[in-house]
Amino acid sequence: MNATPASAEPPEREAADPAGDGRPILSVSGLRKYFRLRGGSGGVGPAYVQAVDDISFTVATGETLGVVGESGCGKSTTARLLMRLIEPDDGEILLDGRDVGGRDGMSLRTLRHNVQMVFQDSYSSLNPRHTMAEEVRFGLTAQGVKRAEARRRAGEVLEFVGLEPAIFADRYPHELSGGQRQRVNVARALALNPRLLLLDEAVSSLDKSVEAQVLNLLIEIKERLGLTYVFISHDLNVVRFISDRVLVMYLGKVVEIGPVDRVYGSPGHPYTRALIASRLSMDPRRRIEAPPVAGDLPSPINPPSGCRFRTRCPLAEPVCASVDPVLDCFGAEPAHMAACHALVPGSGHSQAPGRDAGTALETGGSPP
Ligand SMILES: Nc1ncnc2c1ncn2[C@@H]1O[C@H](COP(=O)(O)OP(=O)(O)OP(=O)(O)O)[C@@H](O)[C@H]1O
Ligand code: SF4
Ligand SMILES: [Mg+2]
């Protein structure tokens, strides 16, 4: 792996921190996406799946933000919104402070140069009729890169992800292993020299030893190219391993966000606590039976009023049904935030700390 794709930098790629002011590469506020259901709910009027509902977060240049949450909580929808594969109903997505479209906004083409996505299913992500070199070249020529340059760059990025072009460039997807196919997907994403990679369950379908190889490759690539990652996974151990911060989603909402050691060591939200308690230890000698979060995930078509977690929360009280809790900091670390009435002085929840006990929740072992 001695070639780097750096020389293949497309003209519209922004500098690592263009303004030099340390502002986030990505800033999301009030993002919302409801999917209208065909055929409606059987009741009056159309029905909507509230896939992503008023979420806000930032991603700092150079960091890895892990995103976790149960199946159906809105992780992939969020990634697809960030890539503009689907349009938001509401909210703002800023890359380096600039929106897509609008008078002063960036073009979709510039966005796609700067942000790329790697999906879970390495096989269906690849065209079965394309060789690996053609697969990587395809995205480049579609973005206007000349054929000779695209050919050169395809060889360069395949080599960069550890696939010797002389051996792999002319193979078809069915002639590769799952790990090799996922490397091609990473190569294809890197070919445009992006700054931000959205990795949606990118290692989840790989077996454990191959998963570790691809994870290490991702970490190495990130360091060498100065990339930023949004890393979506249902595997809390993998997220802890790779992330600087972690964002926890529940039924379309962000319920907790913070530095990974704080969230795993002192989780504030009862849902995060349940998730972390149920995760299997990486150390087989310390493995425990996973106590699941009690009850089923409610319908995203008709989510519970107030706090969406209340139907499964052991701490639920009347205030939880009437008021939607706001994501806010609750301890000594201002970057660690959760959305739970039991953490907020004066919220009306019986377990909320007193108004002068602002930093009461320093340990995550027992409920607030
Ligand atoms: N195009 C669509 N039309 C209608 N509903 C959709 C559509 N895409 C996603 N949804 C719904 O939106 C919700 C969130 O889906 P999403 O794929 O974002 O979940 P996820 O967190 O990525 O789940 P998983 O861990 O299973 O991948 C789900 O209820 C899903 O069924
Ligand atoms: S707001 Fe209420 S229901 Fe929601 S997590 Fe906190 S205590 Fe539980
Ligand atoms: Mg998904």
Cα three-residue angle 8-14-17, rounded to 5 degrees? 125
Task: Inform me whether the pLDDT recorded for 214 exceeds 80.
Answer: yes
**pLDDT tier for residue 280 given thresholds of 50, 70 and 90:** low
Cα three-residue angle 265-240-279, rounded to 5 degrees? 75
pLDDT of residue 285: 46
Q: 57 Cβ partners below 8 Å, 6+ apart?
A: 28, 65, 247, 254, 257
Ligand 1 and 316: CB distance under 6 A: no
Least confident of 1-15, 127-141, 212-226: 1-15
Least confident of 45-49, 205-209, 216-220: 205-209
- Among 97-106, 235-244, 355-364, top mean pLDDT goes to 235-244
- The DSSP bridge partners found for residue 198 are 117, 230
Whole-prediction pTM value?
0.88
Contact 279, 236 (CB under 8 A): yes
Residues in the chain: 368
Cα(75) to ligand 1 centroid in Å equals: 8
pLDDT digits (tens, 9 = 90+) for 218-243: 999 999 999 999 999 989 999 999 99
H-run or E-run covering 30:
strand 26-36
Task: Inform me whether the pLDDT recorded for 281 exceeds 50.
Answer: no
Instruction: Delineate the domains of the chain, giving CATH numbers in brackets.
Output: 5-14+25-234 (3.40.50.300), 271-343 (no CATH)
Least confident of 39-53, 60-74, 187-201, 347-361: 347-361
- The protein residues having their C-beta less than 5 angstroms from ligand 3 (an ion) are 75-76
Mean pLDDT score across all residues of the chain: 86
**pLDDT tier for residue 38 given thresholds of 50, 70 and 90:** confident
Give 45's DSSP letter. S
H-run or E-run covering 148:
helix 147-160
Q: How far apart are the two ends of the chain, measured CA to CA in Å? A: 50
Q: Which of 253, 254, 313, 317 gets mutated to test ligand 2 (max ligand atoms within 8 A of its CB)? A: 313
Cα(230) to ligand 3 centroid in Å equals: 13
pLDDT of residue 358: 47
**pLDDT tier for residue 278 given thresholds of 50, 70 and 90:** confident
pLDDT of residue 368: 34
- Centre a 10 Å sphere on the Cβ of residue 318 and count the other Cβ atoms it contains: 12
Percent of the chain with pLDDT over 70: 85
Higher pLDDT, 356 or 306: 306
Cα(70) to ligand 3 centroid in Å equals: 9
Q: How far apart are CA 310 and CA 340, in angstroms?
A: 10
Least confident of 51-60, 96-105, 223-232, 283-292: 283-292
Which ligand 1 atom sits closest to the C-alpha of 300?
A: 29
Atom 1 (ligand 1): residue with closest C-alpha? 35
Cα(271) to ligand 2 centroid in Å equals: 9
Q: Which of 322, 341, 349, 350 gets mutated to test ligand 2 (max ligand atoms within 8 A of its CB)? A: 341
